[in-house]
Structure 1
């Protein structure tokens, strides 16, 4: 809570900062509604502060010349960037400013998904939902798996903790990031569970994911047998509890439940009942395929 709070006495001791506040110039410092003073939140180090000081109007030139070192000292006294090394006291490499932490990107992605989902459920305007949708997929494109090897610092499909600036990816091995990625992916596909029942929602499913032409889909059943499904153009498929789910576009929402005994059940709407959902969760092999139309 103490970060980026300038001591009023320190500010009063700087003719430059005092003048900037009096003039309402927020390039370097701002004053909040409670009277507190803060450095510009866009500064990430003292170099950014120096660049901003150099860009001030010429009317401040004399004050910048006389006060710059003092202002920099106030700034570093608050942030003490030189002492910031993240977890490097327990890990083998420097981790600090300039690193991209891939797990953090996935956490942001999940937060964006949850906000977008809430907006859809609250019937927000199509403009709001569309903008949130765009933000979500923009963040999604920032995940390491979508980066080039040059930017990621390794093979993009290999899991790493982070990539420091000017250095290859560090700390190999799977992290908790996989949790956020799984939640987001099933969220995109429209899988929902409420009160133990499985539901499907196409609101956040990207239309570009549907097949442009015929394809085959290989999967492993709950009995550990390889199976192949023929998928038509305009469909997509994935497995849920090792049960293949085939999505088809259609105007009348419904689910076709194919069972191991050869019977087929057609469900109106996009929700499975509790018994069918439980059979899938338990991997009982009672349900062998779902076809969702939405």
Structure 2
């Protein structure tokens, strides 16, 4: 950890839009001796809408001053504007657990980017309901565990997964082909990111690329979203598509679709790790 990282923090804010918010936040940081290095903002309306802000700043001796900074900001700024807010230190490296089944493309993209320093986190372990990917994961020096899941043991299986994943800040479903229980999801609010093909809800169930081929689709894509208790209805973080034509085979559709999936998921995870996402009801604001 270098000194710049040690002294860098991010502030995320949501509140009713009112005059003076930017001045209040920037003035507060100025009087604390902080230097703002990035500031992004968004308002849903020209007047009276919802306001969102992401500020990244540098402040000497940040670690020792964190508690005082939190208390002072809450009393002097946040309460005045009825803000929902959070302050994170870049030096507090987030811990990530991954769930996967047998298909490896999304998982390996995350492990490769992490190994090359592209994902600022600690990947603590990978859990699967199958043994197939053990060697691939352990080659990256990451623990791999198997928790079988079937219709008769779901409660016990997800209780075990929840126990094994404790201490993580984020869980990633890298093509984990099981439906999480509502009880499990409720314990990880906006802390689980899923990836799936954008064919939902048109092509649900098994073999979506074959279904897409049979319907003669002209676009394929992928969606990364937070997992909620309502299946595949969580706030969308990132999406992408590629144009295809009538002469694409099922295999070509699958290959191209998996390329989209791996990149969409990696971007969504990276943005979460970099505190670029604010969840607002059923939607997200993503500062890129």
State TM-score, norm by structure 1: 0.21
Q: Which has the higher strand share?
A: 2
Q: Compare relative contact order (CA 8 Å, sep 6+) and give the higher one, 1 or 2.
A: 2
State TM-score, norm by structure 2: 0.21
